[in-house]
């Protein structure tokens, strides 16, 4: 039986997030367990008079793991010409993440993943530059539910509750937050083992309200590349990247660059990732979580970075559309919870304390 929520979900992706136009060639990627949403997306694309280029797979995005583990360094460093041509020329992309196992990449060497990421830089840059409309989303699967500590039914209810919102109303609410940060030259994040300053001079943020990520619900920036100074410890939540779980990440920044990094678990992987290239030790993003439907940690960055009362930093590739110029093969979002004993200051004024907006912004929200 078709779930009417999947039809709503698909229309949100096709009509709002991507705004598919007649005649477009739209690449639609999905794991096999995402079939119900995939089929609704295909119907919605057809209703817009556009084509679907189908990519259905068993694992994560892109090349299958058995190929990644076996291929030569030369192959890993060079994308398949036909696939690269497709991704550099499609009119839009919609990716439905529906994993059978969220840790299936854990046995792939970090070095091999880095070669793959470096080889796909032109594709990544096209996506992150805003040159082509795209959206990534998730569909309820047992693996995602298990990571979140939920039953499949509970996870589905949580997912739809954070996705099927009144995004016009959410956009208006987040405009007030964006205006406040746009007017600031410096952001200071203070919390447990954390005192970090990041520059926003000359940078304008962007509101994610049903944009490239679903669920949306953040205001994000690319900070001034040489501005980060101080220490931040991500001790509240484990970070998950490339199938690895990294706990108690701690960064010390000088002149915008991570000069010291540590973790209590998978530290070697953390350091290897930071050494991917020159840009991997600089910030590509500062984001402020704003989604009212996401209130708890899910061990799922797509959700966790949107939690009200959190901020997230991404090391690596910046967003040219908001003034970012940092170049890297990686873009890794890591979430900091400031809902307990934390605050955010803008040019010395406290605007959020223990996860709650204060003063004038609180009144306007």
pLDDT for 117 equals 85
How many angstroms separate the CA atoms of 361 and 365, rounded? 6
Q: Please check the confidence at residue 235 and state whether its pLDDT lies above 80.
A: yes
Q: What is the pLDDT of residues 38-70, one digit of tens each?
A: 999 999 999 999 999 999 988 766 678 889 889
Quote the mean pLDDT of the chain.
92
Task: Report, as an integer, the average pLDDT of 211-216.
Answer: 87
Q: For residue 215, which of 332, 310, 303 has the smallest C-alpha distance?
A: 303
Q: What is the pLDDT of residue 316?
A: 96
* Dihedral sign from CA coordinates of 295, 127, 270, 114: positive
Q: 218, exposed or middle or buried, with CB in 10 Å at 0-12, 13-18, 19+? A: buried
Q: Using 50, 70 and 90 to split pLDDT, how confident is the model at 363?
A: very low
Decide if pLDDT at 83 tops 50: yes
Among 110-124, 219-233, 254-268, the minimum mean pLDDT is found in: 110-124
Query: Using only C-alpha atoms, what is the Rg of the chain?
Result: 20
**Torsion, Cα of 160, 209, 284, 287 (10° steps):** -80
Domain boundary assignment for the chain = 4-163, 167-364
Distance (Å, whole) CA 358 – CA 251 = 28
Show the tokens assigned to 354: 């223990």
pLDDT at residue number 323 = 93
Query: Which of helix, strand or coil describes residue 346?
Result: strand
The pTM of this model reads 0.84
pLDDT at 292 over 90: no
Q: Which residue has the tokens 């739809």?
A: 160
pLDDT given for residue 138 in this prediction: 93
The pLDDT, as a whole number, for residue 61 is 64
> Looking at residues 81-91, what average pLDDT do you find?
95
- Residue 60 has a pLDDT of 63
Greatest distance between any 2 Cα atoms in the chain = 58
Mean pLDDT of all residues in 281-301: 92
Query: Does the pLDDT at position 265 exceed 50?
Result: yes
pLDDT at 351: 95
Instruction: Give pLDDT tens digits for 316-344.
Output: 999 998 999 999 989 999 999 999 889 99
3-state secondary structure 268-298: HHHHHHHCCCHHHHEEEEEEEECECCCCCCC
* Dihedrals phi, psi of 260, to nearest 5 degrees: -150, 135
pLDDT at 205: 95
> Which contiguous run of DSSP H or E holds residue 259?
strand 257-262
What average pLDDT does this structure show over 91-112? 90
Pick the more confident residue, 43 or 301.
Answer: 43
Average pLDDT over residues 65-78: 91
Which span out of 42-46, 210-214, 289-293 was modeled with the highest average pLDDT? 42-46
Do you find a cis peptide bond into 215, omega within 30 degrees of 0? yes
For 10-20, what is the mean pLDDT? 96
Percentage with pLDDT > 70 across the chain: 97
Closest CA to 296 of 308, 282, 314, 313: 308
Contact predicate 134/27, CB 8 Å: no
* 337-358 burial code (b ≥16 CB/10 A, e <16): bbbeebbbbbeeeebbbebebe
Pairing status of strand 310-316 against strand 283-289: antiparallel
pLDDT band at 284 (very low <50, low <70, confident <90, very high): very high
Model confidence band, residue 109 (pLDDT cutoffs 50, 70, 90): confident
CATH architecture of the domain with range 4-163: 3-Layer(aba) Sandwich (3.40)
- 99-122 as b/e: b if 16+ CB within 10 A: beebeebeebebeebbbbbbbbee
Return d(Cα 251, Cα 50) in angstroms, integer.
46
How many angstroms separate the CA atoms of 311 and 225, rounded? 18
Hey, CA dihedral for 293, 355, 331, 147, is it positive or negative?
A: negative
pLDDT the model gives residue 55:
93
Best-predicted range by mean pLDDT (162-171, 218-227, 287-296): 218-227
Q: What is the mean pLDDT of residues 72-92?
A: 94
Which residues are CB-contacts of 78 (< 8 A; sequence separation ≥ 6)? 119
């Amino acid at each position: 039986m078709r779930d009417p929520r999947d039809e709503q979900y698909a229309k949100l992706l096709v009509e709002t997030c991507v705004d598919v136009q007649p005649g477009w060639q739209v690449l639609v990627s999905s794991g096999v367990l995402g079939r119900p949403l995939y089929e609704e997306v295909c119907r919605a694309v057809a209703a817009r008079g556009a084509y679907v280029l189908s990519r259905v797979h068993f694992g994560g995005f892109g090349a299958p793991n058995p190929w990644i583990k076996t291929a030569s360094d030369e192959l890993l460093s060079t994308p398949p010409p036909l696939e690269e041509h497709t991704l550099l020329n499609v009119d839009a992309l919609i990716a439905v993440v529906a994993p059978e196992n969220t840790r299936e990449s854990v046995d792939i060497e970090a070095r091999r993943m880095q070669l793959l990421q470096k080889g796909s830089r032109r594709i990544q840059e096209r996506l992150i530059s805003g040159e082509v409309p795209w959206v990534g989303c998730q569909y309820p699967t047992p693996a995602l539910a298990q990571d979140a500590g939920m039953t499949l039914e509970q996870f589905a209810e949580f997912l739809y509750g954070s996705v099927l919102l009144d995004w016009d109303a959410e956009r208006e609410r987040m405009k007030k937050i964006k205006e406040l940060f746009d007017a600031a030259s410096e952001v200071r994040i203070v919390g447990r083992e954390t005192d970090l300053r990041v520059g926003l001079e000359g940078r304008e943020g962007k509101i994610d309200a049903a944009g490239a990520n679903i669920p949306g619900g953040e205001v994000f920036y690319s900070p001034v590349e040489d501005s980060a100074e101080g220490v931040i410890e991500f001790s509240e939540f484990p970070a998950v990247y490339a199938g690895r779980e990294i706990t108690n990440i701690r960064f010390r920044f000088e002149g915008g660059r991570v000069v010291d990094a540590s973790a209590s678990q998978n530290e070697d992987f953390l350091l290897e990732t930071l050494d991917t290239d020159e840009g991997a030790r600089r910030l590509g993003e500062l984001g402020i979580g704003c989604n009212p439907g996401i209130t708890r940690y899910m061990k799922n960055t797509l959700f966790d970075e949107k939690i009200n009362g959190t901020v997230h930093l991404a090391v690596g590739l910046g967003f040219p559309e908001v003034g970012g110029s940092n170049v890297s093969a990686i873009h890794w979002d890591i979430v900091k919870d400031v809902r307990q004993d934390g605050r955010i200051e803008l040019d010395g004024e406290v605007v959020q304390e223990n996860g709650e907006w204060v003063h004038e912004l609180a009144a306007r929200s």
